[in-house]
């Protein structure tokens, strides 16, 4: 279960993304796309954002050796490159949309629960919608680990 609320988590990531090097980022690890400005052919994650000088393109060096192995493997380098600030902002927007949807659908799930207990009567169409809302909200709660 997450240790902070979805809202706090999104706000924290959004603040970090706002200060990070703009993207898109690319990984030059195991590619024929040579890094710009890397020393001794070091593979890097670098930005391809317009307006960034060649000397400022490197975001993360990925082939520093710690003695027996590289500090970063190709899979990790590709993963990190995919998480440039705009990607994080898109994920935050999706999370916030899911949060808003869950808040909207929450009362309908309560209607379905009451109907299951025989506490209220609804039209068949409303009941179907309420059951679908409860299912969607349950899935959202499983994915996020909590209440909206």
DSSP letter at 55 equals G
> Over its length of 148 residues, how does the chain's per-residue pLDDT go in tens digits?
457 888 888 899 899 999 988 888 888 776 665 555 545 556 778 888 899 887 787 887 766 655 555 566 777 778 888 888 988 888 888 888 788 777 777 776 776 777 777 666 556 667 777 777 777 777 777 776 666 5
Confidence (pTM): 0.61
Are the CB atoms for 114 and 133 separated by under 8 Å? no
DSSP letter at 31 equals S
Report how far residue 133's alpha carbon sits from residue 71's, in angstroms, rounded to the nearest whole number. 46
């Amino acid at each position: 279960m997450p240790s902070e609320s979805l809202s706090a988590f999104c706000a924290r990531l959004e603040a970090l993304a706002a200060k990070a090097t703009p993207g898109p980022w690319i990984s030059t690890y195991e590619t024929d796309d040579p890094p710009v400005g890397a020393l001794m052919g070091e593979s890097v994650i670098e930005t391809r954002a317009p307006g960034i000088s060649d000397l400022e393109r490197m975001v993360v060096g990925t082939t520093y050796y710690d003695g027996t192995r590289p500090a970063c493997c190709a899979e990790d380098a590709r993963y990190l490159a995919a998480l440039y600030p705009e990607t994080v902002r898109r994920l935050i927007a999706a999370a916030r949309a899911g949060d808003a949807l869950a808040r909207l659908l929450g009362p309908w799930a309560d209607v379905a629960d009451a109907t299951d207990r025989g506490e209220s009567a609804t039209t068949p169409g409303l009941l179907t919608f309420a059951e679908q809302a409860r299912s969607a909200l349950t899935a959202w709660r499983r994915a996020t680990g909590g209440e909206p």
